Structures are given as structure tokens and as C-alpha cells.
């Protein structure tokens, strides 16, 4: 594989630009929105608010995934690992854009705390990355498995009529499973306790807050 060489300054500027786009802008998806094939069904106010709360959690999850992968890529020693992390982050951009589209359709908005979620996740990603590339990828596997688990919860909890949100979550779930599998193949190590438990606790807190804010 042809790996592009970049200077630390290039990377810093690239990271800053990506952070601003993720938090403030609307990075475009490269793939079509999976909801495009599903008709919009009118939801009542309670259903719409609940669906929006769940999709805001998913949007925050994608903001965090972007930041985790960029933070890890910033300190990855192996250029192939860095490329792997940045490629995964690119697919998360599609998820981010699809969730943002759905939030708009539901007359809602992304989390007001996105700058905070991004900064915290970037720092955690960089710290995890400093432990080395095998751990780095182990972190990807754990993150993807936890995202898959909360997508499953949301698929159960969404209003039955909300086929558009459901189509997005099903496509995301398939991608997250692929991201986990490819990180495993690339040499991920299994994270020691209590790291997975701490990650699950942080994700639980995020979900509780992002449902409303
Ligand atoms: Fe994702
Ligand atoms: Fe993913």
C-alpha cells in the first residue's frame, strides 16, 4: 500500500480542520443516505421527540468515534495503523451526516455539547494511542462493539413507524461490525479490565445527557 508521508504540522492542521467540520459544520456523506428508500411517516410529538433523542445519541456517538480515531491516529507510530484509523473515521463521517439529516427531518438538532464530547474523546483516543498500536486497535474493537450494542437497543426502542431512522441504524450497525472485524484482523489486542467497563460507564453517561441536550 502506498502510504502518504505527512509532517506533524500537516497532521495538526488536518486534525483541527476535521474537528471544526465535525462539531460545527455538516461534513458530507460519500454514500447515499439509507433512509432515502423509506417513506416519511408522520409521528406524533412524543414519538418524534423520542426518535430525535435516540438519533442525537447516535450522532454524538459518531462525533466521539471521529474524535477517538483522529486522536489515536495523531499518535500512532505505524503509518499503516494511522491510515487504518483515518479510513475508519471517514466511514463514520457518513454515519454522522445521515444522523444529522435525520435529526433535521425530526425538527431537532445535534447535541449542544458536541465540542465537549469531541475534545474528551480526542484526548482519550490520544492517551489510548500512546500505549501502542495493538492497544490502539483494541480500543477500536471495543468502541465499535459498544456502538453496535447501543444501536441494537435503539432499534428496539424506536417508534415502530420510524422506518427512516431504522434504515440508517441498520446500515450503521453493519459498518460498525465491519470496522471491528477489520481492526481485529489488523492486530488488535484485547483491552484489559477495567478499561471496557470504564468505557461502558462513559458511554452510559453520554447517552443519558445526549438524549436531552
Ligand atoms: Fe459509526
Ligand atoms: Fe465504526
Q: Spell 81-104 as b/e; 16+ CB within 10 A means b.
A: bbbbbbebbebbbbbbbbbbbbbe
CB 101 within 8 A of CB 164: no
Closest CA to 16 of 70, 87, 92: 70
CB 129 within 8 A of CB 71: yes
Ligand nearest to the CA of 143: 2
Q: Is 38 labelled a binding residue?
A: no
Count of other CB atoms within 10 angstroms of residue 137: 26
Residue 168 lies in a domain: yes
Q: Is 179 labelled a binding residue?
A: yes
Per-residue pLDDT, 25 = 61
Q: 22 — alpha (psi -120 to 50), left (phi > 0) or beta?
A: alpha
Domain that holds residue 99: 8-22+42-210
Ligand nearest to the CA of 63: 1
Residue 93 lies in a domain: yes
Q: Is 145 labelled a binding residue?
A: no
CB 163 within 8 A of CB 29: no
Find the 53 Cα to ligand 2 centroid distance in Å.
Answer: 20
Find the 62 Cα to ligand 2 centroid distance in Å.
Answer: 8
Residue 33 lies in a domain: no
Q: Is 176 labelled a binding residue?
A: yes
Higher pLDDT, 168 or 5: 168
Per-residue pLDDT, 130 = 86
Per-residue pLDDT, 113 = 93
Q: What is the pTM of this model?
A: 0.86
CATH at residue 94: 1.20.1260.10
Find the 180 Cα to ligand 2 centroid distance in Å.
Answer: 7
Amino acid at each position: 500500500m502506498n502510504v502518504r508521508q505527512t509532517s506533524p504540522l500537516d497532521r495538526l492542521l488536518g486534525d483541527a480542520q476535521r474537528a471544526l467540520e465535525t462539531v460545527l459544520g455538516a461534513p458530507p456523506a460519500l454514500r447515499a443516505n439509507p433512509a432515502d428508500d423509506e417513506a416519511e411517516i408522520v409521528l406524533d410529538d412524543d414519538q418524534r421527540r423520542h426518535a430525535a433523542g435516540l438519533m442525537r445519541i447516535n450522532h454524538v456517538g459518531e462525533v466521539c468515534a471521529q474524535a477517538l480515531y483522529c486522536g489515536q491516529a495523531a499518535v500512532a507510530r505505524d503509518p499503516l495503523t494511522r491510515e487504518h484509523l483515518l479510513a475508519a473515521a471517514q466511514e463514520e463521517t457518513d454515519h454522522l451526516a445521515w444522523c444529522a439529516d435525520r435529526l433535521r427531518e425530526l425538527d431537532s438538532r445535534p447535541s449542544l455539547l458536541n465540542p465537549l464530547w469531541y475534545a474528551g474523546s480526542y484526548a482519550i483516543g490520544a492517551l489510548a494511542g500512546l500505549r501502542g498500536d495493538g492497544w490502539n486497535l483494541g480500543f477500536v474493537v471495543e468502541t465499535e462493539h459498544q456502538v453496535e450494542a447501543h444501536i441494537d437497543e435503539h432499534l428496539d426502542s424506536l417508534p415502530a413507524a420510524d422506518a427512516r431512522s431504522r434504515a440508517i441504524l441498520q446500515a450503521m450497525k453493519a459498518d460498525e461490525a465491519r470496522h471491528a472485524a477489520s481492526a481485529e484482523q489488523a492486530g488488535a489486542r484485547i483491552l484489559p479490565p477495567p478499561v471496557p467497563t470504564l468505557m461502558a460507564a462513559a458511554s452510559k453517561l453520554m447517552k443519558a445527557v445526549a438524549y436531552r441536550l
